[in-house]
Amino acid sequence: MDLNIYDFTSFTKWVDTALNSVMSPGWTMLVELVIVGIVFIAAYAVIGLYLVLAERKVCAIIQNRQGPNRVGPFGLFQTIADLFKLLGKELISIKNADQFLFNLAPFILIIASFMAIAALPFAKGLHAIDLNIGIFYMFAVSSLGVIGILLAGWSSNSKYSLIGAIRSGAQVVSYELSVGLALLSVVIFSGSMQLSTIVESQANGWWIIKGHIPALIAFIIFLIAGTAETNRGPFDLAEAESELTAGFHTEYSGIKFAFFFLAEYMNMFIVAAIASTVFLGGWMPFHLGGFESLNHVMDFIPPVIWFFGKTAFVIFIMMWIKWTFPRLRIDQLLKLEWKYLLPLNLMNIVLIAFIVLMGWYIK
């Protein structure tokens, strides 16, 4: 067995052949599915729980406080304690609510985020699914979550929930356009929708560097639209605490509420992971074409660390935005998208097409 932390391709092949040598192909597939499933469920839970803690810590730093610091060293076990508390809380069923849809909503949210996380390349040869339409798939699946939000808000039979849900629906569909067009810019540059190919194409510099001005514009638009699509930050109208109590999940209690919370943080992780994969090179170390010694030094840091480091960086920016800016109104929110971001994005696409046509980018 050769576990190489720089390239997982041989490791996964080794696991596959080792399993194939002891059992039939059908069982091998089943065992592999179970292994992948356990790994992803564990990763999902750990990432989700620690993002909640990270947000509370970042918020505390920005507001000049301590943040959670009682449970475990630096409050590291705070969110785990919270999870067990929520598991032990009563699941209240609301009178007159549409019970079936009410219970279905958390399933849809969590399934959407699981499907999206499946296509992420964490390191070389370390991804569950490598679709040739990877970006398109991520874009499609990550926007399914809004159905869960709409169902949750509508089925609760509470006015706050309904207002939160329809706001969220209008917001997510609007900002989805900007997300798609911003991702399209890198599709034009790299000429592929497969995430692994896009990462490989950044071996001599990340797209944000190689694509210079238009790529930078696309990245900023993606950050804004991604923040809006996950109902976070200055765009959290769907759950505006000060006016709608909790918006679409007002009526949820106990572990069902926890899943809405978890899904929000996982969606943030997914957006940050897409941003880092597409614009910041994913697991690709910091490379510059022509600087061989620099590239060689950077290669010593394992790709997994690069991937999670960049993702953490983007997540930090999103948290920073959330705790710095005041909340927008719904008309300001829609105006920002339809009158500023969308025309800017369309112009940016034409600019990119022109730059690619003339070859004015680093190949």
Partner 1 sequence: MNSEYLILFFLLGVILVGGAILFSMFTAPTSKNSAKAEPYECGIPVKSDAWIQFNVGYYLFAIIYLVFDVETVFIFPWGVVMRDMGITAFIEILIFFFILVLGLLYAWKKGALKWV
* Nearer to partner 1 among residue 243 and residue 292 (C-beta): 243
Instruction: Give how far the C-alpha of residue 18 lies from the chain's centroid of Cα atoms, to the nearest Å.
Output: 33
Closest approach, Cβ 287 to partner 1, in A, equals 21
Closest approach, Cβ 360 to partner 1, in A, equals 13
Closest approach, Cβ 14 to partner 1, in A, equals 17
* Nearer to partner 1 among residue 126 and residue 181 (C-beta): 181
Closest approach, Cβ 89 to partner 1, in A, equals 6
Say how many Å lie between the first and final Cα of the chain, rounded.
Answer: 37
The Cα 109–Cα 295 span in angstroms is: 40
* Nearer to partner 1 among residue 23 and residue 62 (C-beta): 23
Whose CA is closest to 199, among 299, 314, 122, 271? 122
* Nearer to partner 1 among residue 143 and residue 227 (C-beta): 143
Closest approach, Cβ 279 to partner 1, in A, equals 15
* Nearer to partner 1 among residue 194 and residue 230 (C-beta): 194
Instruction: Give how far the C-alpha of residue 136 lies from the chain's centroid of Cα atoms, to the nearest Å.
Output: 14
Closest approach, Cβ 298 to partner 1, in A, equals 27
Which value, to the nearest 10 degrees, does the dihedral of the CA atoms of residues 278, 113, 119, 20 take?
Answer: 160
Instruction: Give how far the C-alpha of residue 294 lies from the chain's centroid of Cα atoms, to the nearest Å.
Output: 30
Residue with tokens 């944000």: 208
What is the chain's length?
363
* Nearer to partner 1 among residue 60 and residue 104 (C-beta): 104
Q: Are 106 and 275 in contact (CB under 8 A)?
A: no
What secondary structure letter does DSSP report for 128?
S
Ordered alpha helix ranges (H), 143-253: 145-155, 159-190, 195-200, 207-210, 212-229, 241-244
Amino acid 174 reads S
What are the φ/ψ torsions at residue 328 (nearest 5 degrees)? -85, 160
Pair of tokens at residue 203 = 């071996």
Residue with tokens 């990119």: 352
Q: Are 141 and 109 in contact (CB under 8 A)?
A: no
* Nearer to partner 1 among residue 109 and residue 318 (C-beta): 109
Burial of 148 (0-12, 13-18, 19+ CB in 10 A): buried
* Nearer to partner 1 among residue 184 and residue 271 (C-beta): 184
Closest approach, Cβ 102 to partner 1, in A, equals 11
Closest approach, Cβ 305 to partner 1, in A, equals 25
CA pseudo-torsion sign 192, 197, 198, 202? negative
Enumerate the β-bridge partners of residue 126: 123
* Nearer to partner 1 among residue 23 and residue 87 (C-beta): 87
Closest approach, Cβ 326 to partner 1, in A, equals 18
